[in-house]
Copies of this chain bind each other. A is one copy, B any other.
Amino acid sequence: MKKALAIDVGGTKIYNAVIDEKGKILTEVEKHSTPKTFDEIKNTFISIIEKYENEVDTIAFSTCGAVNNQNSGIVGSTGNIAKEYPSMRFQELSKKPVFVENDANCAAWAEYKIGASRNSAVSVMITLGTGVGGGIIINGHLLKGQNGAAGEMHFKMSNKKHRKCSCGSWDCFEIYASGTGLKLTAEEMSKNPDITTFDVVEGAAKNNQLMVEILKKWQNDITDGIIGLANLFDPDCVVLSGSMAEFVDTEKIENLVNSTIVTTPVKIKKAQAGNYSGMIGAALLALEAYHG
């Protein structure tokens, strides 16, 4: 069976593992802190690749940042990683074929191939973490856009310039649906600037009425965003992933969405491909691209 060396590159951590065509992780997952400089990041990649290159067929990167339509490099800025990182020439790191894709797209692909959206015609994956990521798959193809930057969950939830988003604009879905968004909603509703998302989920679990209401407001904002996405894409499946996804009630969201949209009914599911879905999706994409 063909194998890929998968490398997941985030702003704080780099993971790697060898993964086969079925999405099975064959080695222990190795973790590294993401170095501060371009050269150190590159050297980390090189040392990982040297260790596994001879036993795999392809190198598969799941990375922060938008990735071009050739799956060879990064388009534009990437947030919380060395400024020069987008200039990385990935193919030069190995003599094996190197494939690069955006981490949210990779995770969406893993859900589509082995997870919650298996065999879906049209699926939207939303990663709810500190920020919000997105990956959209239409008839077996990732939605990439003209230059590979598509799937950004920065559509507005308000035209009142209420919350500044990490992207520099106002009131994007991300700044309501993310963990950061939950904290802001909690601050607004509790009038307590020190409240944490932990306070909210723990308080809600103990049936504290205010915390329940805060969580409900946050979930309603997520629901509103999904309604817009469902009306645009007419998907059969929306997958919620990321660290914050465990706090949403998918059944409630599904009922609300389906009673509101003008398109056709959609399933709302939690991700099933596990913590390493980025690496798994990258490996499956790379193996399909080079050996499919």
Contact = CB atoms under 8 A, between A and B. Distances in A.
Interface string A131-162: 00010101101011111111111111111100
**Size category, A interface:** 35 or more
A76 interface: yes
Contact of A263 (B145, B233, B234): B145
A47 interface: no
A76 B262 CA distance: 9
As for how many copies of this chain the complex holds, the number is: 2
User: Which of A176, A228, A232, A234 gathers most chain B CB within 10 Å?
Assistant: A232
Interface of A: 66, 75-76, 121-122, 134, 136, 138-139, 141, 143-160, 167-169, 172, 176, 220-221, 224-225, 227-229, 231-236, 260-264
A236 B224 CA distance: 27
A115 to B, nearest CB: 18
User: Which of A122, A231, A235 gathers most chain B CB within 10 Å?
Assistant: A231
B154 A227 contact: yes
Contact of A154 (B76, B153, B262): B262
